[in-house]
Chains A and B, each alone.
Chain A
Amino acid sequence: EVQVVESGGGLVNPGGSLRLSCGASGFIFGAYAMNWVRQAPGKGLQWVSSISSGGGISIYYADSVKGRFTISRDNTKNSLYLQMTSLRVEDTAVYFCARESRDGFHLDYWGQGTLVTVSS
């Protein structure tokens, strides 16, 4: 069974940093591109970042997080990461880890999310 499980969320002060992790199981992690998507409380989905199956070849970010967030992966540990720095109040959201299908650009499996709250 395909599973992705996020962790690392919590309360952080504005300007602070946090590192999210996503553990994957039930599929060959290194064969799939992965994404982070977030959802502010009571709001819609917002794509954050993506990383290709091999890691550094293709990495993309939403304009709102470019220069502050860094996506990475460790295929030996079946894990995806999101390093978040210079956090802002508006970064408060549930962050979802999502697998990108190999037969098209859509997200076929999602985790339950981890909540990041940026507040003083």
Chain B
Amino acid sequence: QSALTQPASVSGSPGQSITISCSGTSSDVGGSKYVSWYQQHPGKAPKLMISDVSKRPSGVSFRFSGSKSGNTASLTISGLQAEDEADYYCSSYASSSTYVFGTGTKVTVL
């Protein structure tokens, strides 16, 4: 149950696009269609942003998109806005019937 690997920080200017990677193994990200992404503002509860690799829940901005290739999943935020500044976590439902989260990425809007 090792954590998935994410970059510690990613930054971009308003209006730009950024991509956060999430690296795992064939036992989690690579072998699962259940990769999700969560946004967490300081002191708040996590919020689901992407489910099932690339599905956007109702109410989540179209600027958020997800994808996967092999053992690595990615979250792209396009048209970066100040309100997007937060921590982002990927998660995968693993073959052991457990969830594993990523190490987390702090997104900074310059």
Interface positions of A (Cβ within 8 A of B): 35, 37, 44-47, 50, 58, 60, 62-64, 96, 98, 101, 104-108, 110-113
Contacts and interface: CB of A to CB of B under 8 A. Distances in A.
Interface of B: 1, 3, 32, 34, 36, 38, 40, 44-48, 51-52, 55, 57, 89, 91, 93, 96-104
A113 B103 CA distance: 19
Contacts of B89: 44-45
Contacts of A58: 97
Contacts, number: 71
Contacts of A104: 34, 51-52, 55
B101 A112 contact: no
B20 to A, nearest CB: 13
A62 B46 contact: no
The 10 closest A-B pairs by CB, nearest first: A105-B93, A105-B34, A106-B36, A47-B99, A44-B104, A110-B45, A106-B51, A45-B101, A104-B52, A108-B48
